Structure 1
């Protein structure tokens, strides 16, 4: 029996061996996103734009949009397929660990190759393959919360994941800002983050063998159950997917172009830009960690996950309004403060909400894979939208567009019915 079904009472005995085992999984969920997300976020938000700016400065905005389009297509397919195959994997190391270990190694190798590439076509090819291995880490990793964590601990463990997510997402900006003039070195550093962080996460989980689990025949019914979009009992599920997608689009409308916002919209020199990116990332990191650490346990105590997620999504949009008024660095710091609070609250309970709306626990990784697609594709679509808007109307327009998108996302979350 999975650990997720072994601790179900409202009061948790943290000295219980079963609870300690689940908290060990929580520690793995903390380390895991630091590994994969720090690399993805640090490279995509800062080092990739810097590298492209060095290679083809006259076409950098359009080129980032091209990279985002290719990544979106590849990531959408890879996340779903990897999650579905991990659901039906049988091995002595369980169904998630083989995927996480193998693709962590491949991701690190690809990032190393990416650091050495010096032409846009080669960079684009490596970036596309990297999206495959990256998403083959994400889908199985997140599914471990559904596999191993009982309902009354999911808010707490989700906050573990959320703190790791905040460190990976925002802490990467602090690190990447130090390598704007040494891009290849920075990418190699992030390759080691992926390798060690994800491998350590997989080891901590200590996923048991599932060789005795019934093997599903690979036929039409298996394909329908494990590879297709869920259709039954899925209204709330799709509202959660839609809300998450819009939140990620809104966030990465700014984050995906933050380097160019400082250099082209605010007219900062390279030294000022590096300092500003570091300050912004530090604000996001500190607020994100504090709010994530506080919100998860509170959510478990009051049994509420929907409102914090919806409120946080809207708050992210509110923060985006500041840079509209003046192209000054302080407006991006204000955005970082408000959106960091929102993202912290969001990350703390987001995974608990996702698991609560799953249509079928037996296809958890596949269905969570679709939600993860909302994350990955949102990260990619955001810069794609920014690229189009900037080319047509300049940088100022992207900020109110983020506000509108996040508002709609928050409303969709509030429309979920079966979760408080």
Structure 2
């Protein structure tokens, strides 16, 4: 039995009365942690992996594209499964360092080691090793992601969750859009081996993610929490999909998945909207895609810090998330209506505002639809399927729509707008507590 007092140990959550001031340090800890794991991951996934595979497989082409698509599908499936398992294990972890910290630290070390291993793969005969290591990354990185997000649920009162989610979102957005920029610094036609250096440099960032978050958040001991005997009841509560009081969770899951499918499918075909749809050459298309990316990042960073506090003041999450989906739908339809290359930049502006709002308030909404604070990390893992599921389903949905509209790209866009609006409608069906 622990000798620690109740104030020194974890509880599953904190009330508004117990936390009159916002725990800004939790937002900073989780935001920096997110930046330090997401930037390396995006640098690998978006830049270094394609470059390395092109080097190994003799140039960019259909073979490389098919292999990358296969990696994406396998990775999303592995990530979905491991997020649930790891999240559940962190919920029942009892150590003097808390429930989340040991997993976050171990995840940062293991993921960094696997990244070094990926950098060392340089031969076509080793592609099976590359595939296994990529599955390893998808597993070990969830030892950071799942518990890091759960810390916000553990340590933040409901009235502050919008603000803290906004702070988290700033780190997340910088990591998402900045990671490919960092990865791009390690591309060189004159020195293809520089790509390997990129893996090692980004591994250092990943290695820092766990310690930086752990030092800042200073998680208290969980030894005073009730010990759980691993029986059928614990397995049902901690390792299965919830059924009791989970209506809001599933509405949030499928609503956000629809929004993410619209955004991801747009991204998958953005080059073809410009080339096949608007008739520009590849170089020009690349310039417009870059400009669109900058517009999206800038507007998202501007709107992320203010959206969470606004949702706190309004006392609602679902309406703000639904509004972000409406902006996504409007942005998506702009290139279809005008069919000029500049319309893609306007998509970046409008959808970027939506993205900033969404990233900021999304986590706050996630926390408020959890059916049981005791299983927060596991249930947040289920909600993460809104992201991983979209990665799998968006290319499939795009391919189906491409066939339905007669083998053209531009007519896909109105359908993607409708998908985003359906997502907004599902989110609006959530019953909020007032």
Q: Does 1:76 align with 2:80?
A: yes
Partner of 1:334: 346
Structure (1 or 2) with the larger CA radius of gyration:
2
Deviation track 1:255-284 (CA, whole Å, cap 9, x = no partner) reads 356578778875323xx6775554333222
Q: Is residue 140–residue 365 contact of structure 1 (8 Å, CA) maintained in 2?
A: yes
Partner of 1:376: 388
Partner of 1:100: 104
Shift of 1:328: 6.1
Q: Is residue 14–residue 155 contact of structure 2 (8 Å, CA) maintained in 1?
A: no
| Structure 1 pair 402–172 and aligned structure 2 pair: CA distance change class (3 A) | farther
2:418 to 404, 413, 419: 404
Shift of 1:400: 3.9
| Structure 1 pair 281–197 and aligned structure 2 pair: CA distance change class (3 A) | farther
Shift of 1:109: 1.8
Distance in 2, Cα, partners of 1:4 & 1:222: 16
Partner of 1:125: 132
1:67 to 68, 71, 83: 71
Shift of 1:43: 2.7
Shift of 1:384: 5.3
Shift of 1:78: 0.4
Shift of 1:208: 0.9
Q: Does 1:89 align with 2:97?
A: no
Shift of 1:168: 1.4
2:356 to 331, 344, 349: 344
Shift of 1:76: 1.1
Partner of 1:144: 151
Which structure is higher in helix share?
1
| Structure 1 pair 229–5 and aligned structure 2 pair: CA distance change class (3 A) | closer
Q: Partner of 2:221: helix, strand, or coil?
A: coil
Q: Does 1:43 align with 2:47?
A: no
For these two proteins, the number of residue pairs brought into alignment is: 411
Deviation track 1:144-167 (CA, whole Å, cap 9, x = no partner) reads 111111111111101111111111
| Structure 1 pair 116–276 and aligned structure 2 pair: CA distance change class (3 A) | farther
| Structure 1 pair 337–174 and aligned structure 2 pair: CA distance change class (3 A) | farther
Distance in 2, Cα, partners of 1:257 & 1:129: 28
Q: Is residue 64–residue 383 contact of structure 1 (8 Å, CA) maintained in 2?
A: no
Deviation track 1:285-334 (CA, whole Å, cap 9, x = no partner) reads 22111111011111112212111101112322322234446876533322
Deviation track 1:233-267 (CA, whole Å, cap 9, x = no partner) reads 11111000111222222222233565787788753
Partner of 1:29: 30
Q: Is residue 31–residue 198 contact of structure 1 (8 Å, CA) maintained in 2?
A: no
Q: Partner of 1:300: helix, strand, or coil?
A: helix
Residues 1-40 of structure 1: matches in 2 within 5 Å?
1=7, 2=10, 8-9=16-17, 14=21, 19=22, 22-40=23-41
Partner of 2:206: 194
Partner of 1:110: 114
Segment of structure 1 superposing worse, 333-342 or 58-67: 58-67
Distance in 2, Cα, partners of 1:33 & 1:161: 7
Q: Is residue 216–residue 222 contact of structure 1 (8 Å, CA) maintained in 2?
A: yes
Deviation track 1:392-412 (CA, whole Å, cap 9, x = no partner) reads 936546544432321221111
Q: Is residue 155–residue 300 contact of structure 1 (8 Å, CA) maintained in 2?
A: yes
Partner of 1:418: 432
Partner of 1:279: 291
Shift of 1:37: 1.8
Name stretches of at least 5 consecutive residues in structure 2 with no aligned partner.
1-6, 189-193
Q: Does 1:158 align with 2:165?
A: yes
TM-score (norm 1): 0.87
Q: Is residue 64–residue 387 contact of structure 1 (8 Å, CA) maintained in 2?
A: no
Distance in 2, Cα, partners of 1:77 & 1:370: 9
TM-score (norm 2): 0.85
2:308 to 284, 296, 302: 296
